[in-house]
Structure 1
Amino acid sequence: MRRFSAVAVPEAPTPAREAEARRPSQRPLKPSSVGRDVLSRVNAVAVLLVLADAVTLAAVCAHRGLGWGWSAAVVASAVTIRGAWRLYRRRLWLSWLQDLPRSAASTALAFALLSGIGLISGSDARELAAAQWAMIVFALVIEPVRWCVFAFGRWCRRKFDRCDRTIIVGAGEVGVNLAKTMLEHPQFGLRPVAFADSGPDPDRQPPLLEVVEGDLADAIVRLKAGTVVLAFSHTRDSPLVEAAITAHRLGCSTLVVPRMYELHPDGPGIERLRSYPLMRLGTAPTSRPTWWIKRAADLLLAAFALVVLSPVIGLCALAVLVESGRPLLFRQVRVGMDDRTFTLYKIRSVRQTGEDDSQSTWSVVGDSRVGPVGRFLRRTSLDELPQLWNVLRGDMCVVGPRPERPGFVREFSAIHELYWARHRVPTGLTGLAQVHGLRGDTSIADRSRYDNYYIANWSLWLDLRILLMTAGELCCRRNR
């Protein structure tokens, strides 16, 4: 049975190679290979909602005669809170009534915040009252405007086919019904272009839809798909996970039909396609604006640490020189994001014995080649400090899955499910697995689960937590 994520491998058909062959393609992605260009990613309805709020707020503030300071406070508080409450999100169901409670509650919260700031700062009572009245008038005016925006969005989707090209993973009854619903109701903004399944039912397949049985990534690029819907497939669940990861890597919106969807309630992150609930998966961490904040923080932290810790690195290098001579630094090929390899730098902690077997030999506790200096460097993690240079070069991040050697990546990917998925973000100096005691000769399956959990739940706050836990590990030597 062919899998939609199959990749041809011209090697001997051993069990390990067969498992490796079933992995989705992890080739580096070029900007031109992404399913949608930057302009087509912009959600027109979300942009119109932001503009409607900003223009209405500005008009109301001008009508109430507010100064620049209070006008800026009113606009900033309302737009920020309404954005935080996801009023400007991508959505399938353009329903004003469905969004009305969320809109009214966010405006009320902005009103309360503005009032609190005015009272605490001791602002003039007349100016505060004018700002409050501006917010009240905004609440009354904006809802008819939003209704018009939603109606205009539905009309454009129907009239001009302003819909995302969609691949449905799963050609069973649910997948076929979803495709029919999309075709009959274009106001939801999805236009099916293909199924992806290993064994579709031809009797239920709508006409003019292609069936993809090969590499899903190739199909997304070739068909210029912007959305992938994961429905029930004839295959087991793991290919659906692989399909979701592939869609994320290519920048597609990913929607999932939940199990027992007939009983699934609406809630945060739930879309509606007529009677079908669809869970919208979060975007890939590297595609979020906050990832640029992470990268900037990594550069500043790595540069500062290299300057401050340069005397420590020098002393460690001197100790290695005295114990076992040159070379002082150890270079090793590791696997980074999208299976790209890079040269990792460490202070050498193992005595040179002639042949270098570091690429194929797993380091274990009690290695006779590790002297007192090497054991101290490993125990304190001082041998990892030169990797700050890898962070500056862009090979790594401060926080992320730890990089591994190519040979072990191939071996672990063939044995441990979704180990390969760790490579959809850059590797790091420290990670969630490491602060939970998974260093050295410990469970690879547990490391993989922690790393994939980290990627699925990434946030700046999670990175900060891991850094604080790393500091605790280094100071208290817990989980060692």
Structure 2
Amino acid sequence: MIRRGQSFLSYLYAFADFVCIQLMFLLSYWLKFKSGWISFEPPLLFRNYILWTFIYAIFAIGISFFIGFYASKRRKQFSFEVLKIIQIHLVSLLMLLSILFIFKEINFSRSYLLLFVINSILLTSFYRYFVKILLKYYREKGYNKQFVLIVGAGSLGKTFYRKLQNYPELGFEVIGFLDDDQEKHESDSKGYKPIIGRVNELEHILDKTLVDEVVIALPLDAHKKYGSIINVCEKFGVKALIIPDFYDYLPSRPFFDNFAGMPLINVRDIPLDELSNRFFKRAFDIAFSLAAILITLPLLILIAIGVKITSPGPIIFKQERVGLNRRNFMMYKFRSMRVQTEQSSDTQWTTENDPRKTKFGTFLRKTSLDELPQFFNVLFGHMSVVGPRPERPYFVEQFKEEIPKYMVKHHIRPGITGWAQSNGLRGDTSIEDRIKYDIFYIENWSFLFDIKIIWKTIINGFVNKNAY
């Protein structure tokens, strides 16, 4: 059966959100009209503000219930909650502005409204983070458990059991296995929970034992049993989850799609496939690259002069790289080597004591200043500020045969910096390790993730000991 406690927690979260919004109303009203820090304009009627704030709170809580934000999220990362909180408050703000427009309420401070929404997002995020940390602590101590029954004691079920033991903070406890081949699997069950029955005994066990979730981990040849197992789980109000026997071929976060009225497993769910996500990322790229070009313009001019006077040849070095959807583009860099043939530059790695480099070019490469012109690639739409680093076509053809999943990186725009680079995988480092980080970024992209990568890149510095 489903625990009644979850319903109580949902209402508790709703009440806490309401309290947070009202507290932020009082704080924002005081900051705007009473403190004298922001403005000295006379305050508008207090009762009007508290009325509209109450309506805003109703909107926010109603939206939260509608999108299921108060449901259990023990499997979700905190960044997911922050994103949802921002979305909820922005939609609530738009709804409140619409109501104010309809009722022709013009005596309402816009700066107060902005202050109030920002404060509400910050306080709600802070208390949600505190609650999440507190719940993780108590779950690790054995409280607030969710009980799991695994149907299938073979390699698939045992693999899931072992992985689940690595996350005690999630608060899941396996009560045992169900399997029709008990003699076959009991011999290698040391260190695992016992096999407590056969698959057809599931109804009896759910009737007598407290189970929150049933995880079906049966091999493909047992798929005929899935229907009856799911029917029994739904009869008792227990959640049923299926681990496909081909899960090794799936990414960490597979996505269910719908095509021609049939459910399909999207083998690789890419958040940037959504138009809204691509729009926000592109808008951020344009704004960030424009700001970076304007801020570094004096430095760009100085570097250009330095390149010109230290070696003959063009200031900008253009090289073909493979980008979004395997389309080639010309990537710009400040020239750091002596002029060479196209064949040489496109097919040779740069080494530590490469004789082709100029002295000034060595400095540019070590400090990553040679990559500043790539902000123009971002403006032109060839690249993004954050994404997998692009490679030359010659090496792409090699790596796609030698490194599994190498070509997945071309599902999104390449970047000036990326998750791999911000974790030290730059220059002469493992390509295999970089691809693992790139795929993680592609599957877990969010705007906050981009900000984190940019921040880590700045904090770690631009000097790269592996850059030759």
TM-score (norm 1): 0.49
Greater relative CO (CA pairs within 8 A, separation 6+): 1
